[in-house]
Structure 1
């Protein structure tokens, strides 16, 4: 016997769309953490971004970029490494289509960063993930990426 309204296949029951939580996996991982939930907040920041090897995946499976600038909402200074496990999304400020990361890697650019801040509820430590970079293509790169200097010899004697 089918009870109207109880079976989703009967015409009397309305089908309700279930909203999906994109962060459900993080909440599930954090369930053992005394019921606390990680904080995930979107942010927007402006400054310079060093895209040295951004087209390569590092040993942690991330694309990384060095950012120095300010948070557009709070005005606080930001200087950190930002990562993403997603496919790179990089735009030029005047270009409608995404840019191939190989064209901009190895250079420093003025940029606007759209990302997400993940705050661990136990340690209150923040991790910054970038979702999209918008580079000032019109202004061009500021410089080549900053490479570590070789100090295998005394720099004062190298003249």
Structure 2
């Protein structure tokens, strides 16, 4: 199955844990579940077994997750996932997005200035917004095409019905004239 994972900000009583939560978006439908449930990531190895690379990666992830634009980044990602998705998936994603907006989690009030991260977050959000627009365009064009075809078919059928009705009335009138 095609699955994407990405970290969610911890909130509430879970905010004090060091284990990040991950949003898993599965492009398949599950029968029983009505809303996606964030699952905790596996517990990280003990700090003594962490390599410098792992600690650096964890630090970058923590910076990204605490950035003021992180909710916008999640929202943009969710909006991309909704394009072309079945209605039940769109509903679940919309509910998830609503949950993210209603529970902002614990973010640092005064994050350490990081112009490089700020630029990255702004750029990535913009890229996701443009990507959604690019994904949406062919679907909108197809929808417009099918609506135009439907209107033409309806017009054509109404024209045929009007012609048949007029013809039937004409012949009935002629038969009535002959009888009189």
Q: TM-score scaled to structure 2, two decimals?
A: 0.21
Q: TM-score scaled to structure 1, two decimals?
A: 0.23
Over alpha carbons, which structure has the higher Rg?
2
- Judging by fraction of residues, say which structure has more helix: 2
